[in-house]
């Protein structure tokens, strides 16, 4: 699968749920490639903005889309990575604030 194919597949699944890809397409495609790299490396698409343990059970909270996406987008209009955003965020109707890490340190 290519980054473009992954993007198209995820877009069809996520947009009806109200989650949109960041309007910065260059960044989005880099993150798509990182997700595919993690899938090759670990066997699953771990969040590219976090350090996976390499054990799916330990990383289940950061399988993209991670469990933190819902509260992040609700509160900030963007997930931690900036991959998924609200429509308002993409349209610059809300501020683009720093999204703090919600995941507890694992080490």
Q: How far apart are CA 22 and CA 25, in angstroms?
A: 7
Whole-angstrom Cα distance, residue 101 to residue 103?
Answer: 6
Domain boundaries, the chain: 3-91
Q: How far apart are CA 85 and CA 36, in angstroms?
A: 20
Chain centroid to CA 63:
9
**CATH, domain range 3-91:** 3.90.460.10
CA angle 91, 94, 99 (to 5 degrees): 110
Distance CA 74, CA 12 (A): 20
Query: Over the stretch 24-80, which tens digit does the pLDDT of each residue have?
Result: 999 999 999 999 999 999 999 999 999 999 999 999 999 999 999 999 999 999 999
Q: What is the pTM of this model?
A: 0.93
Question: Over 70: is that where the pLDDT of 91 sits?
Answer: yes
């Amino acid at each position: 699968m290519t980054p473009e194919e992954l993007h198209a597949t995820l877009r069809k699944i996520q947009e009806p749920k109200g989650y949109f890809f960041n309007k910065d397409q260059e960044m989005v495609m880099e993150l798509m490639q990182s997700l595919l790299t993690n899938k090759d490396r670990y066997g699953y698409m771990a969040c590219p903005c976090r350090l996976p343990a390499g054990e799916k059970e330990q990383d289940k909270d950061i399988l993209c889309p991670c469990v933190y996406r819902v509260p992040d987008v609700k509160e900030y209009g963007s997930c931690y990575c900036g991959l998924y955003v609200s429509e308002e965020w993409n349209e610059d109707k809300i501020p683009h604030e720093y999204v703090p890490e919600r995941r507890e340190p694992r080490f």
